[in-house]
Amino acid sequence: MIIKILTEGGKMQPGPALSQKLGPAGVNMGQVISKVNESTKDFQGLKVPVEIHVNTSTRTFDVKVFSPPVSALIKKELGIETGSGKQISLKAGNASIEQIISVAKTKLPNMLANNLKSAVLSVAGTAVSLGILIENKPAREVVREIMEGKYDKEIKMEKTNTDAEKKKQLSDYFAEVKKAQDKMIAQQKAAEEAAAAAAATAANPAATPAPVAKK
């Protein structure tokens, strides 16, 4: 018997819905919750797919954890809530290649990729769709560089830690990018408001105050 659930990492709690699923299996709910929370503690703050494989004759169980979607892992890695809705013109974050490798290592067991480099390529591809920079560059450019072998050394070493100096450099670069983006957004909003006001005036000229005659 396989019971599928979606739970927040490390924070599964008892409830009617869970009781309804586990009750017919005859397993101890407290033990299941403890095992699931221990197995998913590294994914705190994320929704995690979990399968509980129950042997109904012996009332024993095993827990199989599937890692969250790549997009969720990237957002957690960068500490952001959402990606960009306009991937080309607006960027949502700036990742190091080490962070991309870290996400790829986490996700690899649940991916069709047959090696870490393929997984890194897949994760970088997801970064493209989220509007994420990698190493201060558009993710699409880094995808090409990965294919060309530029980061083979880091991938072979399974390098997942970004040193403090590099983190600061990436953060400072993105701060400038965001500053420019915010300025552009403000300008676009002002232009749209001006256009809307002009259209409203043209549609209702009577609302425009008449000029005051000079004496």
**pLDDT of the residue at 133:** 96
Exposed / middle / buried, residue 148 (Cβ in 10 Å: 0-12, 13-18, 19+): exposed
Residue 177, both tokens: 């990018």
Report which of 107, 96, 95 is spatially closest to residue 48, judged by C-alpha positions: 107
Dihedrals φ, ψ of 134, to 5°?
-130, 125
Asked if residue 172 and residue 75 are part of one domain, the reply reads yes
**Angle of CA points 60, 65, 70, to nearest 5°:** 170
Same-domain pairing of 76 and 173: yes
Same domain (yes/no): 104, 61? no
Please tell me whether residues 85 and 176 are part of one structural domain.
yes
pLDDT score at 85: 78
pLDDT digits (tens, 9 = 90+) for 120-165: 999 999 999 999 999 999 999 999 999 999 999 999 999 999 999 9
Return the pLDDT at 211: 61
- Amino acid identity at 114: N
| Residue 215 clears pLDDT 60, i.e. is over it | no
Residue after which a domain boundary falls, among 32, 50, 65: 65
Q: Please check whether residue 213 lies inside any domain of the structure.
A: no
Residues 29, 125, single domain; the answer is no
> Does 107 lie in the same domain as 33?
no
How confident is the model over 174-201, as a mean pLDDT? Answer: 90
pTM of the model: 0.76
**Residue 113 maps to a domain:** yes
Count of structural domains within the chain: 2
Whether residue 81 is contained in a domain is answered as: yes
| 20-49 pLDDT tens trace | 888 888 888 899 999 999 999 888 888 889
**Residues 13 and 75 occupy one common structural domain:** no
CA distance 215 to 207: 24
pLDDT, greater one: 84 or 215: 84
46 plus 129 within the same structural domain:
no
User: What is the four-CA torsion angle of 181, 183, 189, 192, rounded to 10 degrees?
Assistant: -100
Tens of pLDDT, residues 61-106: 999 988 888 999 999 999 998 887 787 788 999 999 999 999 999 8
CATH value at residue 150: 1.10.10.250
Q: What is the C-alpha to C-alpha distance for residues 50 and 64, in angstroms, rounded to an integer?
A: 6
In a domain, 116, yes or no: yes
Residue spans of alpha helices (H) in the chain: 16-22, 29-40, 70-78, 97-107, 116-130, 139-148, 152-156, 164-203
Whether 88 and 178 map to the same domain: the answer is: yes
DSSP-derived letter for residue 108 is G
Q: Return the higher-pLDDT residue of 135 and 203.
A: 135
Task: Determine the structural domain holding residue 113 and report its residue range.
Answer: 70-182
Q: Are 17 and 45 in contact (CB under 8 A)?
A: no
- Backbone phi, psi, residue 133, to 5°: -80, 155
pLDDT at 160: 93
- Residue 208 in this model has a pLDDT that exceeds 60: no
Q: Is the pLDDT of residue 50 over 60?
A: yes
- The reply to whether 105 and 130 lie within a common domain is yes
pLDDT of residue 115: 93
Q: Which residue, 30, 65, 100, sits at the end of a domain?
A: 65
Q: Which of 65, 97, 112 is at the close of a domain?
A: 65
pLDDT of residue 147: 96
What CATH number does residue 42 fall under?
3.30.1550.10
